[in-house]
Amino acid sequence: MSVSLNDLQLLLDVADCGSFSQAAARRGWSQPQVSQRISLLEHTLGQDLFARHRRGALPTPACLKFLESARQAVAAFEQGRALLDGSPLLPRITLSCLPSLTASIYGPLMVKLADAPMEIRCSADHSHGVMTALLSGEIQVGFVLKCPAVAGIRMERLWCSPIIAVVSPRHPLALVPNPLKLSELANQRIAPQFWGEDCETLIQLIRQHREQALPIHAVQPTSAIMELVLRHQFVSFVPRIVVHTELQEGRLREIPLTDLPHWQWEVMMAWRSGKRRDPAKESVLKAARQVAQEMSSASKGGVESKPDSKRGKPRR
């Protein structure tokens, strides 16, 4: 049996969906058709490509090695067809980052690369999903929180962004001389952005200062936080990077707190290492570094760009 482009696209569909049944629905096929076709492809290649389980199908290590070549083959065919149709041929690069970072990263990045000779596709996912997509070749550059190293993936720290308290400029706390203590805002309506385990620690600290058993809501994404803070006078705790623009433009006010622990987000840029030069990816990496440096310079010391690795782990 020869391997067709349709076989390769089916392989990519199953890897992207993580399920034979979802890949079948995408194509309008039956699940047994997809399963049979993938089994024939595995027989032809002499490798198991997916580990089947009740919840779907996971790419095997052999599949992950083959996926990038399969994507390149399908992309090369599509580029050739575009040339025959008279369409301009531009390299395409796909990016992914945390939902809470899309405005902070994609906006400035797209401004810098708006006229670059490439087409960019942007998506959003959580850190684990971004790393998985990098390994499979579905995306070329990802922006994630610091996580364990993965073989074949290069990572570079862009920011260390502290957790800060923010309010609307119309909030009474915005008019109070600061810095303050947690006890001085503990009885306000509070909804921190959930950024990890330390968020629960913060909630416990605030409860210790509360005079009444009022609820504290941990919320995602950033857009929901902005709604609560700007329209409903909540106090929130967020990584400074996700409200960088709002602080600069005066739409939010930071409330300095003397007893707020030094929690922070470490934002990393990740990409697959390779021997072949990729000008489009290199342009994205360079532009992202410039965005990080510019944001650091404009943030009055609140966002550190590429901190010295000798400093070790963030203080908790």
Read off the pLDDT of residues 71-129 as tens digits, 9 standing for 90 and up. Answer: 888 878 877 777 777 665 678 899 999 988 898 899 999 999 999 989 899 999 988 88
pLDDT at 82: 72
- CA dihedral (177, 183, 186, 188) in degrees, to 10, reads -30
Band of pLDDT at residue 217, cut at 50, 70 and 90: very high
The dotted CATH code for 91-316 is 3.40.190.290
Please return the burial class of 91, using the count of CB atoms within 10 Å of its CB with bins 0-12, 13-18 and 19+: middle
Read off the pLDDT of residues 257-295 as tens digits, 9 standing for 90 and up. Answer: 999 999 999 999 999 877 677 889 999 999 999 999 988
pLDDT at 249: 92
pLDDT at 171: 95
Checking if the pLDDT of 312 tops 50, the result is no
Read off the pLDDT of residues 218-272 as tens digits, 9 standing for 90 and up. Answer: 998 888 999 999 999 999 999 999 998 899 899 999 999 999 999 999 999 999 8
Q: Where in the chain is the domain with CATH 1.10.10.10?
A: 5-84
Amino acid of residue 278: D
Band of pLDDT at residue 307, cut at 50, 70 and 90: very low
The domain 5-84 having CATH identifier 1.10.10.10: the answer here is: yes
pLDDT at 78: 77
pLDDT at 190: 96
Contact between 271 and 281 (Cβ < 8 Å): yes
Checking if the pLDDT of 210 tops 70, the result is yes
Band of pLDDT at residue 133, cut at 50, 70 and 90: confident
Give the mean model confidence (pLDDT) for residues 190-208: 93
Count the residues in the chain: 316
Read off the pLDDT of residues 5-45 as tens digits, 9 standing for 90 and up. Answer: 888 989 988 888 888 988 888 788 888 999 999 999 999 99
DSSP 8-class letter at 250: T
Q: Where in the chain is the domain with CATH 3.40.190.290?
A: 91-316
Percentage of the chain exceeding pLDDT 90: 48
Mean pLDDT of the chain: 86
Q: How far apart are CA 5 and CA 80, in angstroms?
A: 13
